[in-house]
Amino acid sequence: MLLVLAVVAGLWGLGAVFGTSRYARLVMIFAVFTGIALLQLVLPVSHPVRAALGGSAAPWFMLLGAGGIVLAYRWGLKRLRNRAVDQSAAQGNGGKLFSDTELNRYARHIVMREMGGPGQKALKEARVLIVGAGGLGSPVLQYLAAAGVGTIGIIDDDVVDNANLQRQVIHRDKDIGIAKVFSAQAAMVAQNPYVNVQPYERRLTEDIAQDLIADYDLVLDGCDNFETRYLVNKTCVALEKPLISGALTQWEGQLSVFDPANDAPCYQCIFPKAPAPELAPSCAEAGVIGPLPGVVGSMMAVEAIKVITGAGTPLRREMVIYDALYGESRKIMLERRADCPTCGT
């Protein structure tokens, strides 16, 4: 058996030297193993050729099974990659929407039934705005960039502080004193140079909200104050943009997809008024366990991918509440309010 494996290795090497494709070499080796397995079945037990080939067909059929899985996977991946090519697209890059490097990078998305090439194409063409580059913004930005969202906007007026680094994992110690939007941009582009990151180093205010949000398809809100939350919600409702909002404190986090254009409530339906300051202390006052923003922010990124690609069931009319202290999650149903001052009838 070792002799056969050595011969097969030699055939693989010769194929590489002569420029034969990997798939063709795999087919050739599969054919060799098939022939040997058949010989094991048809030759008498005492035949010297059968003895030289190991004396049993079982190991060869195991190799055939493994090889068949590899060939089937590569064939399926090749078909899915071909589907990801945009036939009518872009003038550059040979008429393809994705480079070969990108197709390899996003292969684990493309092979998924719910995503495929069309889903990855939708991600590449999407424009997503993230409000806040702090605790929740960090994992959202990292995962959406890694997932291949084509254009990602970040708006935040804060700079990286030493106290942020316990939970805001997109920033590094060397980034202390740098604007968060630029620190995040550098990390995202370093991780995935195929995304376009648009940093806005300023606070989201009434005078710019409409024009800014109108330029994006989806908004994710991870800010730390109710004034901005209500402004983002009001603007998204007016422009009929879906809003994914997350919040957290100490050990607990929550998230939902607010989308009145698709018969889901808006943020103000659920939170009609901002709570008194003593009832909603900031992270600096109440504290927050470091990994919690990563959990909730990652869930927000998943919801964003679902909204963009149409996969699964996004959290419209539902809110997930995660309790890290006791390792529990629960989901509650949400309803629109007819008397909501933002989206009510």
3-state SS assignment for residue 97: coil
Where are the domains positioned within the chain?
2-84, 124-333
Between CA 309 and CA 126 the distance in angstroms is 9
Give the model's pLDDT for residue 329.
95
The whole-number pLDDT of residue 87 equals 40
Assess contact for 131 and 236: CB atoms under 8 A.
Answer: no
Query: Using one digit for the tens of pLDDT, what is the confidence trace for 93-142?
Result: 455 788 999 999 999 999 999 999 999 999 999 999 999 999 999 999 99
- Nearest Cα neighbor of 22 from 37, 36, 11, 34 is 11
Answer yes or no: are the C-beta atoms of 299 and 255 closer than 8 Å.
yes
Structure tokens at 201: 């180093």
Best CA proximity match to 136, nearest among 288, 247, 274, 286 = 247
Asked if 104 and 60 touch (Cβ cutoff 8 Å), the reply is no
Tell me the pairing of strands 218-221 and 196-200.
Answer: unpaired
The pLDDT tens digits of the residues spanning 98-110 come to: 899 999 999 999 9
Structure tokens at 77: 């991946």
pLDDT at 40 over 90: no
Inter-residue long-range contacts of 117-121, CB under 8 Å, 24+ positions, other chains counted:
117/80, 117/81, 117/82, 117/83, 117/84, 117/85, 118/83, 118/84, 118/309, 119/309, 119/310, 119/311, 120/84, 120/148, 121/84, 121/86, 121/97
Task: Please give, one letter per residue, the 3-state secondary structure of 311-340.
Answer: CCCCCECEEEEEECCCCEEEEEECCCCCCC
pLDDT in tens, 222-259: 998 999 999 999 999 999 999 999 999 899 999 999 99
Q: Tell me which CATH code domain 124-333 carries.
A: 3.40.50.720
Compute the C-alpha angle 129/121/23, nearest 5°: 140
Give the closest residue to 57 by CA, choosing from 79, 38, 80: 38
Using one digit for the tens of pLDDT, what is the confidence trace for 168-213? 999 999 999 999 999 999 999 999 999 999 999 999 999 999 999 9
CA pair distance 139, 167, nearest whole angstrom: 10
How many whole angstroms separate alpha carbon 173 and alpha carbon 258?
A: 35
Determine the 3-state secondary structure of 172 from DSSP.
Answer: coil
Across 43-52, average pLDDT: 66
The pLDDT value recorded for residue 8 is 59
Question: H helices then E strands: how many in the chain?
Answer: 14, 8
- Percentage of the chain lying above the pLDDT 90 cut: 65
Coil, helix or strand at residue 195: coil
How is residue 261 annotated by DSSP? G
Distance, CA of 254 to CA of 299 (rounded, Å): 10
pLDDT in tens, 58-91: 666 676 677 677 767 767 776 666 555 544 344 3
Which of 163, 145, 162, 146 has the alpha carbon at shortest distance from 154? 145
Tell me the average pLDDT of the chain. 86
